[in-house]
Amino acid sequence: MMQNLVIAVVMAMTLSAGTVWARGEGRGGHHKGDEISPLEKHFSPKNMKDLGLTVEQKEKLKTIRETNRVESEKLREEMKTARKAFKESLRTSATKEDVTKAYQLMLDKKNQLSKSRLESLLTARDILTDEQKAKLFGKAEKED
């Protein structure tokens, strides 16, 4: 009985830390422990304005943003649902295995979201010329 209580407390603490991470608390809006958020700042509108993008590049980047926005919203909603299921499994008399499965599903959704963000960044990066990349990433590194 005591062992189950300890497991529940540890998992609840892990969930709380994950929630703080997902909300980006504690690091100026960036996801704590998330290496992609600093990469995303390279593609801020301010930085992109200084690159002299062609109309075609602007359109391609706009398409990437829109596609990513839709996919990200879907994945965030799935992650929210998985997080809710995990919390519910902790509150009930769910088996250790069921709680672990719910927790793993929540982590899998978070990982899918992170991978999707990275793929979008890489796709956007491929649209830029070598000179634009050097300018964009050199400028952002100076800001770090």
Question: What's the pLDDT score for residue 31?
Answer: 45
- Domain containing residue 76: CATH number: 1.20.120
Q: Which pLDDT value is given to residue 39?
A: 55
41 in a domain, yes or no?
yes
pLDDT in tens, 43-85: 777 777 888 899 999 899 888 888 888 888 999 999 999 999 9
Cβ proximity of 83 and 76 under 8 Å: no
pLDDT at 135: 85
Query: Is 51:136 a contact under the CB 8 Å cutoff?
Result: yes
- Look at residue 26 and give its three-state secondary structure: coil
Quick one: average pLDDT of 122-140?
84
Within its chain, how far is the Cα of 108 from the centroid? 12
Domain count, the chain: 1
> Within a domain: residue 22?
no
Q: Is residue 63 part of a domain?
A: yes
Tokens 């959704």 sit on residue: 109
Q: Which of the pair, 3 or 138, is modelled with greater confidence?
A: 138
Q: What is the pLDDT of residue 101?
A: 96
Q: By residue range, what is the domain housing residue 61?
A: 36-143
Residue 124: predicted pLDDT: 87
Structural contact between residues 100 and 92, judged by C-beta atoms closer than 8 angstroms: no
In-domain check, residue 11: no
Are the CB atoms for 38 and 30 separated by under 8 Å? Answer: yes
132-140 long-range contacts, CB within 8 A, separation 24+? 132/51, 132/52, 132/53, 135/50, 135/51, 136/42, 136/43, 136/47, 136/48, 136/51, 137/42, 139/47, 139/50, 140/41, 140/42, 140/47
Q: What are phi and psi of 141, to 5 degrees?
A: -65, -35
Across the chain, mean pLDDT equals 76
